[in-house]
Structure 1
Amino acid sequence: MERMLEDKLLQSDERQDLKGRIWIESKKLWTVAGPSILTRISSFGILVVTQAFMGHIGETELSSYALVLTLITRFANGIMLGMACALETLCGQAFGAKQYHMMGIYLQRSWIILTIAAIIILPLYIWAAPILRLVGESDELSEMAGQIALWFIPIVFYFMFSATLQFYLQAQLKNSIIAWLSSASFMIHVALSWIFVIKLGWGIPGAMGSMIVACWVSIIGEFIYVFGGWCPLTWRGFSKSAFSELWSMAWLSVSSGVMMCLELWYNAVLILLAGYMKNATVAIAAFSICLNITVWILMIGIGFLSATCVRVGNELGRRDAKAAKFAIKVALSTSSAIGLAFFILILGLRNVLSYAFTSSIQVAKMVSELSVLLAFSVLLNSIQPIFTGVAIGAGWQSVVAYVNIGCYYVIGVPLGILLGCVAHLQIQGIWIGMICGIAAQTLVLVFMTGKTDWDLQVEKATARLEGWFVPDESKDVDDVTSIA
């Protein structure tokens, strides 16, 4: 009897201990995920607001802006964001290993590499008009898009600083400042756009100028925060050590860029395919509405991606394999629960959801028909980012790049073409192909994560950090608690 009582007490203690661990891990997760979600929604919102005000200027301006945003800026942002993911890996692991001063050096190395990448990208904006004519766009749209593209040049460098500073700050659990600055920038953008476009009638310069000002307000605020002494352990000033190990970091950055770009371009390829379906205008409109809904909800998933990356990187840096695995389980459970809630909501509102975006009965009907696929896409997008975050946190970018090529472009796109054109499922067939590609990638990453020897990953992270380590030039080391 005593033995049974002891067993019950032990099980009760274990349950209480598990609840406590989940609560602590959830707080750490949301500390990164919450501000990251708000930041991404605000940043995405700035582009959407600009597009809305372009619509008030004229149809040609709206279409030209959409061309530059979809065909060129999506490409540029994919490269900048993807290459910056290398910094996310290194800063997360360095913070866990208490190599705080290295985070500032990694940030500077990333700036050097991404500045070169940005300069290489600039000709796409400078010669946007002839490039768009080359792919078959009309002279009128190409000429207007060429003018708008020049206004995007400061935005390319904004992408560079925005991604790197966000990854640098969130790795040390300081990304709430970014959320506040991004939200303030969004509100500034709405106000300035209304004044410049509606009240003053400045047209394209008003809309694009407002976007540039709003974006750089947040970056200047982040510079002040970092350089002004609010990151005393991780920012020790500019260092010549930033020019060492550039080739190794460039390779990791390129691997990250390829991995993320293949994901970001996947939807663009499928929208292009939708243009070849019957009743293409309605198909593209319906597909675009569904993808816009998916992207808005995906911002939550990407927030959890960042949080998972930070948590896994931190624990690998601390050499705690069990804690890394536990962080993955908590992140996956939380994100999946949110995804399931949206899954149920979309199915429940499938007949009225589209009217928030269109008044066309044809488009609304097609969106309603696509709602089941939309719901499954949203559910998958609550699971897949977690495993992408695991991959970035562990530094598997080059492997995942190959996985993305195979799952998205060998399975997803061909299957979408086969179902859409050969099986005559039209837009539904394209989307089923897309879902199958994402599902295949998710299953591969689940398998990789499940089969991973996390003690070995700790050793690899330690070897990388030690191999790239540069002694701290500063003699004054502050207390670690000043970071929190």
Structure 2
Amino acid sequence: MESNAESPLLTSTTKNAHFVGDVEDIPPINGINDFFVQFGVESKKLWYLAGPAIFTTVFQYSLGAITQTFAGHVGTLDLAAVSVENSVIAGFSFGVMVGMGSALETLCGQAFGAGQVDMLGVYMQRSWVILFVTALILLPLYIFATPLLLLIGQTHDISHAAGQMAIWMIPQLFAYAFNFPIAKFLQAQSKIMVMAYISAVALVIHTIFSWLLMLKLGWGLWGGAIVLNLSWWFMVIAQMIYIFSGTCGRAWSGFSLGAFSNLWSFVKLSLASAIMLCLETWYFMALVLFAGYLKNAEIAVDALSICTNIVGWAVMIAIGFNAAISVRVSNELGAAHPRTAKFSVVVVIFFAFIIGVLLAIILAIFRHQYPALFSDSLEVQEAVYALTPLLGACLIINNIQPALSGVAIGAGWQAVIAYINIACYYIFGVPLGLTLGFVAKWGVKGIWVGMLTGTVVQTLILIWICFRTNWEKEASMAEKRIKNWSGQKALEGEQ
């Protein structure tokens, strides 16, 4: 990294010791002993971030999943309605909002690694502005959910029930707009434990009141919507109180008009991030959507939604790795530690694979018991049991893929990965799934096999990219990105 007497990046190795824990980049690894020593060091750093991040993502995902589980005990139509709303309407919005917010993950992580802590609060406020406007743009999707679901071929009963649920869930959409930038802001500083505590409290309260309102008091979906909205806003407000109380030091110095500057450039980076992650989220959402076109659609949608619910819980573990590796890669690139960044990728792939295999083994052991937890219908339970082998394979693949996406976010590769997702998912995976499902008449299994194959291809390509990357060049690009976004380039031009 070039030194500059006028630059806040001056003496980066000394400054970065405070932020990312390394005074210098790791030395070249020579021999098996060096490998295991560095593996142990990096594992501690990764799990310090990944542990709380996994708990946070699992707890937050479990809010909707628990609502869906209780809905399965209210009735099959209620379960289908919550599943379609969660997977199609909220799932679409979730993908957009997380994607738009992931630009903040790249910028905050690399700025923090370089010691430019003051910019984190400004970046978060810019993201709030952009995501709030995005929520307004997405609002018609909720208001007109019923005709949209009918237009894409969902049954009349499911469309109307899911459409009503979507209108009730509008407050959750705006909670997304504030929650995701806060999460990226805290993650970049490794302040993830507080998010885990808040999410845990929200989950306990959510479970108790969901049972009370949906089943005990008989409020059904309306009760579920009330509790789910309040749970998300509880997390947002609690995290804001934590930030505004001064616990983040220089990272939060109050509201700033700087949040409204350079918005268009921020939007462009956010859109690249959104396209990358949305293509992944919508791909999974399409699985439930296609099942709605099969014969006996209600049973097919219910069975597949239970499977996607389980995969979703597992993916939340992977998203914990996603957050952790994104922080590790962005911090280390910002600190000009390319070898450390590259080695962290090796470590996260190893742990993501091991945990995916363990989850698949647990599923196989309890394959006769778990379907009854989600539905009282014997038909639905039998359909879920038949999908268990595919579900196990999906747990392994979908535990590795999000972790690799975290590498892409940390390095700022969102635009490139978006093209790869289009090719693997929509040009290859979806046509293959539809061919096997409808032409070959394999039904739900065929759709899932084809689309899972697309995910496998995409995962292999991401692994190849990670190990072919010139990480020294990526560190240099991170330095330029930090200067541009902090306004350093403009200042230098004036001098």
With normalisation by structure 2, the TM-score equals 0.85
Matching residue of 1:232 = 249
d(CA) in 1 for partners of 2:227 and 2:348?
Answer: 37
CA 1:137–1:170 in structure 2 vs 1: closer, same or farther (change >3 Å)? same
Q: Are residues 1:180 and 2:191 paired?
A: no
Distance apart, 1:92 and its partner CA = 1.0
Contact (CA 8 Å) 1:84, 1:163: kept in 2 or not?
Answer: yes
d(CA) in 1 for partners of 2:437 and 2:85?
Answer: 27
Letter in 1 for 2:345: I
Q: Are residues 1:294 and 2:326 paired?
A: no
Query: Which has the higher mean CA deviation after the structures are superposed, 117-126 or 131-140?
Result: 131-140
Contact (CA 8 Å) 1:128, 1:145: kept in 2 or not?
Answer: yes
Matching residue of 1:479 = none
d(CA) in 2 for partners of 1:344 and 1:135?
Answer: 37
d(CA) in 2 for partners of 1:362 and 1:196?
Answer: 27
Contact (CA 8 Å) 1:286, 1:363: kept in 2 or not?
Answer: yes
Matching residue of 1:8 = none
Query: Which has the higher mean CA deviation after the structures are superposed, 345-354 or 221-230?
Result: 345-354
Matching residue of 1:441 = 458
Matching residue of 1:474 = none
d(CA) in 1 for partners of 2:110 and 2:139?
Answer: 32
Aligned mate of 1:314, from 309, 331, 335: 331
Aligned mate of 1:96, from 109, 113, 117: 113
Matching residue of 2:403 = 386
Distance apart, 1:348 and its partner CA = 4.4
Matching residue of 1:7 = none
Matching residue of 1:77 = 94
Distance apart, 1:43 and its partner CA = 1.3
d(CA) in 1 for partners of 2:49 and 2:135?
Answer: 27
d(CA) in 2 for partners of 1:435 and 1:72?
Answer: 22
Contact (CA 8 Å) 2:154, 2:293: kept in 1 or not?
Answer: no
Aligned mate of 1:258, from 255, 272, 275: 275
d(CA) in 1 for partners of 2:361 and 2:42?
Answer: 27
Matching residue of 1:456 = 473
Distance apart, 1:436 and its partner CA = 1.1
Q: Are residues 1:373 and 2:390 paired?
A: yes
Q: Are residues 1:401 and 2:444 paired?
A: no
Q: Are residues 1:50 and 2:67 paired?
A: yes
Distance apart, 1:355 and its partner CA = 4.2
With normalisation by structure 1, the TM-score equals 0.87
Matching residue of 2:137 = 120
d(CA) in 2 for partners of 1:446 and 1:48?
Answer: 30
Letter in 2 for 1:156: L
CA 1:278–1:72 in structure 2 vs 1: closer, same or farther (change >3 Å)? closer
SS in 2 for 1:100: coil
Matching residue of 1:425 = 442
Contact (CA 8 Å) 1:313, 1:393: kept in 2 or not?
Answer: yes
d(CA) in 2 for partners of 1:338 and 1:403?
Answer: 25
Aligned mate of 1:27, from 30, 34, 44: 44
Letter in 2 for 1:126: I
Matching residue of 2:358 = 341
d(CA) in 1 for partners of 2:379 and 2:347?
Answer: 42
Distance apart, 1:277 and its partner CA = 4.0
CA 1:399–1:197 in structure 2 vs 1: closer, same or farther (change >3 Å)? same
Matching residue of 1:190 = 207
Matching residue of 1:216 = 233
CA 1:345–1:133 in structure 2 vs 1: closer, same or farther (change >3 Å)? closer
Contact (CA 8 Å) 1:42, 1:182: kept in 2 or not?
Answer: yes
Contact (CA 8 Å) 2:80, 2:302: kept in 1 or not?
Answer: no
Distance apart, 1:220 and its partner CA = 1.0
Letter in 1 for 2:427: V
Matching residue of 1:164 = 181
Distance apart, 1:367 and its partner CA = 3.8
CA 1:293–1:150 in structure 2 vs 1: closer, same or farther (change >3 Å)? closer
Distance apart, 1:190 and its partner CA = 2.2
Contact (CA 8 Å) 1:102, 1:470: kept in 2 or not?
Answer: no
What do residues 395-424 of structure 1 show as CA deviations (whole Å, max 9, x unaligned)? 111111111111001111111122223333
Letter in 1 for 2:209: L
Query: Which has the higher mean CA deviation after the structures are superposed, 90-99 or 343-352?
Result: 343-352
d(CA) in 2 for partners of 1:199 and 1:348?
Answer: 32
Contact (CA 8 Å) 1:336, 1:379: kept in 2 or not?
Answer: yes
Pairwise CA RMSD: 2.6
Aligned mate of 1:274, from 277, 291, 295: 291
Q: Report the number of matched residues.
A: 460
d(CA) in 1 for partners of 2:103 and 2:242?
Answer: 22
Distance apart, 1:173 and its partner CA = 0.7
Distance apart, 1:431 and its partner CA = 1.8
Distance apart, 1:464 and its partner CA = 0.8
Matching residue of 1:465 = 482
CA 1:135–1:29 in structure 2 vs 1: closer, same or farther (change >3 Å)? same
Contact (CA 8 Å) 2:114, 2:335: kept in 1 or not?
Answer: yes
Query: Which has the higher mean CA deviation after the structures are superposed, 421-430 or 157-166?
Result: 421-430
Contact (CA 8 Å) 2:315, 2:398: kept in 1 or not?
Answer: yes
Matching residue of 1:150 = 167
Q: Are residues 1:412 and 2:426 paired?
A: no
d(CA) in 2 for partners of 1:350 and 1:58?
Answer: 23
